[in-house]
Structure 1
Amino acid sequence: MAGYIKATYRAGPVTVVERYYSPRYGVRAGRGQREKPTPERVAEANERRSEFKLWLTLLENFQPGDLHLVLTYRKENRPADKSLLKKDMQAFLRKCRAVYKKQGRELRYIWVCEYESTAPHFHIILPRIDPGLLQDIWPHGNIRPGYLYAEGNFKPLAAYLIKETRRTFRQKLVSGRRWNPSKNLRKPKVTIEETGRSRWRKDLKVPKGYMMLGEVQNGVHELFGTPYQYYELLQIVTERRKE
């Protein structure tokens, strides 16, 4: 049996580990031929992967207390051409950058847009700042401020943003991306190694200084059909990262 692949993702206080076999080795989770994934299964897997990447990016770049703003439009200000929505967001971000610079802060962001089967609106994640400083630079409607919270380590937020934009993303009128990041976001650290070991332990010892989030998942890779393991670790004591 060939060695398995270990993928380790580190983002903020969370470490995620995946173990699986490459399908080229012919390792199967059970008897019989591996069925080719249907387009629907591939699309679902891609959506879950997009949610996973968004979650890690949020963890690496934002903290509890940072902003989650919803930018809405007054009915008379809604663009008839949905492709113009992106220009409104770009104008808002230019003004945002000036506000943050005046406060001695660096602007980082992630935004998504939704308009299918609902009034057009944006969700945008920003570093902590007085939201009152931003109200006047969005002239099209209201800004509803919210704040990131520690519970769930931003996973519910990532799931919500992906679900919220599911229909709009398929039209690709505003953006070809599922979610839109600023260029200065830090990337989660990813290490992928092919081990020389043929099997892994289904139960494992949690490293010192960490606690397990949830349970170890032992199952079958949704696309490869090979044995699969997944678990998440939270660092118990972390120093506050610099802005």
Structure 2
Amino acid sequence: MPYIEKVTRAGRTVLYERSYSSHIHPPGATRSEKMKDTKESQKKINLRKAITELTILMNANFVPGDYHITLTYERDKRAETVEEAKRDRKIFLDRLRRRMKKEKEICKYIVVTEVGVRGALHHHMVMNQVPVEWIRQAWKHGRIDIRPLDDTGQYSKLAEYFAKYTIRFRELGGKGRAWTRSKNLFRPETKKKIVKNRGYFREEPGTRKGYWLDKRTVCSGISELTGWNFLRYILVKNDGRRGSPS
């Protein structure tokens, strides 16, 4: 019987999402009771949406060798509140964009503000490669740590970290989204279709030639939002670069 399949191609990855709905499901199948609309259930739903959105954006716009940057504060220059940290972040981005515009370089980024366990504020950023000195000159509050993105082209784990930072950000009074992005990022189209099948959809991820399955991305169960079964996973193109992470 039919089920819904969504496919999103982002960079070297393909995100597959299979699910049923109240209109598309096997005969006789029943929907599980949806989770009660509590703050905790809504938090889980919002987190999953944020992880999916950030994964797609990162995989579609950044490549091996681009940067994962951490902007930290020196003790005497620390932001005292989340809103102060957001202002510092904005000033940093304005400086960096001006420099890159002057040099006729494209600036692509996703940045999130993290509140540490002890309340220390700092920022995480994914951006395209630029001279490190430009970043140092734009950030006036402390040290920067720069690590190149790995050569898988699959950054869902990093996206998950970014998404989780948003929860604590809001819990401590942050307004709006904890993360922001440049307007020039490409957002791939998600193609949706109804797949006709004689039974229930397979709850094991599919495979395809030339791709490997990132087992860390396999997620299945009952949707807190709809009460119907779902399956989600990512395949990564195997083009001679590093294979599946251990």
| Aligned residue pairs, count | 235
| CA apart distance, 1:198 | 5.4
Q: Which deviates the most, 74-83 or 21-30?
A: 21-30
Alignment deviations for residues 202-223 of structure 1 (CA, whole Å, 9 cap, x no partner): 2676333333333996853322
| CA apart distance, 1:200 | 5.5
Change over 3 Å in CA distance of 1:19–1:167 after alignment to 2: same
| Counterpart position of 1:4 | 3
Residues 115 and 165, structure 2, Cα contact 8 Å, conserved in 1: no
Q: Gaps (5+ residues) in structure 1? A: 239-243
Structure 1 residue identity aligned to 2:182: S
Structure 2 residue identity aligned to 1:126: M
Matched, 1:214 2:215: yes
Secondary structure of 1:188's counterpart equals coil
Matched, 1:126 2:127: yes
Q: Take 2:63 and 2:124, find their aligned partners in 1: how far apart are those partners?
A: 17
Q: Which deviates the most, 5-14 or 126-135?
A: 126-135
| CA apart distance, 1:101 | 2.8
Change over 3 Å in CA distance of 1:218–1:91 after alignment to 2: closer
Q: Take 1:185 and 1:16, find their aligned partners in 2: how far apart are those partners?
A: 18
Q: Take 2:220 and 2:161, find their aligned partners in 1: how far apart are those partners?
A: 25
Matched, 1:188 2:188: yes
Q: Take 1:17 and 1:165, find their aligned partners in 2: how far apart are those partners?
A: 25
Q: Which deviates the most, 195-204 or 68-77?
A: 195-204
Q: Take 1:167 and 1:218, find their aligned partners in 2: how far apart are those partners?
A: 23
Q: Which deviates the most, 58-67 or 15-24?
A: 15-24
Q: Gaps (5+ residues) in structure 2? A: 241-246
Residues 3 and 201, structure 2, Cα contact 8 Å, conserved in 1: no
Residues 28 and 227, structure 1, Cα contact 8 Å, conserved in 2: no
Alignment deviations for residues 88-140 of structure 1 (CA, whole Å, 9 cap, x no partner): 21111111112223443200111111235332111111111221222122112
Secondary structure of 1:153's counterpart equals coil
1:23-62 equivalences in 2 (<5 Å)? 23-24=22-23, 34-38=32-36, 39=38, 40-62=40-62
TM-score for both structures, normalised by structure 1: 0.82
1:43-192 equivalences in 2 (<5 Å)? 43-115=43-115, 117-151=118-152, 153-173=154-174, 175-192=175-192
Q: Which deviates the most, 116-125 or 49-58?
A: 116-125
| CA apart distance, 1:17 | 1.2
Change over 3 Å in CA distance of 1:97–1:188 after alignment to 2: same
State the identity as a percent: 28
| CA apart distance, 1:236 | 2.5
Change over 3 Å in CA distance of 1:24–1:70 after alignment to 2: same
Q: Take 1:193 and 1:70, find their aligned partners in 2: how far apart are those partners?
A: 40
| C-alpha RMSD of matched pairs (Å) | 3.0
Q: Take 2:216 and 2:51, find their aligned partners in 1: how far apart are those partners?
A: 19
Alignment deviations for residues 56-98 of structure 1 (CA, whole Å, 9 cap, x no partner): 1100011111111111222222234432222221111111112
